Structure 1
Amino acid sequence: MTADQPRDTTASRATDRPGDRSPFALGLLLRQAHWRAATVMTEALRPLGIELRHFAVLIVLVDRGPTVQRDLAAATGSDKAGIMRVVDDLERMGLAVRNTVPGDRRVRAVQITPKGVELFDAAHVAAQPLAERLVAELAPGEPEQLMDLLTRFAYPGR
């Protein structure tokens, strides 16, 4: 582009407004949706004394059973130091324990405790009315459609 040629201003520019058609629109919209959902779910977890980062680890432990910290970090999008802090918190609260892995004394597998399972179940009960509030503006059948679309988007080919 030379100095005497006008810059092409017809390209769509990214905004954070509904209706944005820029190439960044989907990511911006997903970020806003995540922020809204995370805020609501944080509200559900607060009375239980845990944060979303704790609950994310409990989800993995309920789904997979005892899991080494390295795999917990990968599954939750955390780093090594971050996952250690979360597991430390969960242990302190009595929601999870670390156990040695047979054959490798250096590796620890994290396991949810019965108290952790109770809290996990209580979180679902607490979150239900808030989750319903999240999708209250959608028409009948749209919450299920949204879940289907997001699932296919997040897990392509499954």
Structure 2
Amino acid sequence: MVPDKPQGPTASRATGRPGDTSPFAFGLLLRRAHWRAAAAIGETLRPLGIELRHFAVLLELVDRGPTLQRDLVTATGSDKAGIMRVVDDLERMGLAVRKTVPGDRRVRAVEITPQGLELFDAAHVAAQPLTERLVTELSPDEARQLKDLLTRFAYPAGDQP
């Protein structure tokens, strides 16, 4: 069933182009910014032999220490099957290992290896020029302001990690 057409003037339709005034404009801009940043990060990680999905798990392991595989699903916004594949890849590359959890042989914790930590650090060195490239159209003050605004948007008060 098709909903009734709104009466009166029609709201602006989403276009995804600069100047879009539709109710979706903000989300579309964030999506485009994400795609641009993800592509740049992907270019940085590719020579190291990993993808953004691998780096996201390594980031969680560095931040949290050994982490239950099911907790990586929530932490990375992935699904169970996706995390299984990523952890399988990381294990094959020697970047992470699964270990049994004392008291529950069915549950596995994932831990970064020394080789994984070395690659994680190398990724940071390789990514150093990335931010500058992403904000090349902004002044240094604007770049700082953008980072501050995005941080406040991503982590509203009371919702800090």
Interval containing the TM-score (normalised by the shorter chain): over 0.9
Q: Which amino acid counterpart does residue 140 of structure 2 have in structure 1?
A: P
Give distance in 1, aligned partners of 2:151 and 2:140: 19
Question: Residue 46 of structure 2 corresponds to which residue in structure 1?
Answer: 46
Give distance in 2, aligned partners of 1:8 and 1:110: 56
Give distance in 1, aligned partners of 2:10 and 2:67: 51
Gaps of 5+ in 2: 1-5
Question: Residue 3 of structure 1 corresponds to which residue in structure 2?
Answer: none
Q: Tell which deviates more after alignment, 55-64 or 14-23.
A: 14-23
Question: Residue 145 of structure 2 corresponds to which residue in structure 1?
Answer: 145
> Could you tell me how far 1:7 is from its partner in structure 2?
5.7
> Could you tell me how far 1:131 is from its partner in structure 2?
2.1
> Could you tell me how far 1:136 is from its partner in structure 2?
1.1
Give distance in 2, aligned partners of 1:78 and 1:85: 11
Q: Which runs of 4+ in 1 moved over 3 A?
A: 6-10
Give distance in 2, aligned partners of 1:13 and 1:24: 8
> Could you tell me how far 1:21 is from its partner in structure 2?
1.7
Local SS of the residue matching 2:61: helix
Give distance in 2, aligned partners of 1:54 and 1:146: 26
Local SS of the residue matching 1:39: helix
Q: Tell which deviates more after alignment, 127-136 or 92-101.
A: 127-136
Give distance in 1, aligned partners of 2:31 and 2:62: 26
Q: Which amino acid counterpart does residue 86 of structure 1 have in structure 2?
A: V
**Within 5 Å, which residues of 2 pair with 1:28-67?**
28-67=28-67
Question: Residue 117 of structure 2 corresponds to which residue in structure 1?
Answer: 117
Instruction: Summarize deviations over 1:54-96 as a string: whole Å, max 9, x none.
Output: 0000000000000001100111011101100000000000000
Instruction: Work out the number of aligned pairs and report it.
Output: 154
**Within 5 Å, which residues of 2 pair with 1:12-31?**
12-31=12-31
1:75 to 2:75 alignment: yes
Give distance in 2, aligned partners of 1:128 and 1:8: 52
Give distance in 1, aligned partners of 2:60 and 2:116: 12
Give distance in 2, aligned partners of 1:8 and 1:138: 40
Identity across matched positions, percent? 80
Local SS of the residue matching 2:140: coil
TM-score (norm 1): 0.93
Give distance in 1, aligned partners of 2:104 and 2:142: 49
Q: Which amino acid counterpart does residue 149 of structure 1 have in structure 2?
A: L
Question: Residue 155 of structure 1 corresponds to which residue in structure 2?
Answer: 155
RMSD: 1.5
Question: Residue 102 of structure 2 corresponds to which residue in structure 1?
Answer: 102
Q: Tell which deviates more after alignment, 94-103 or 127-136.
A: 127-136
Give distance in 2, aligned partners of 1:118 and 1:61: 13
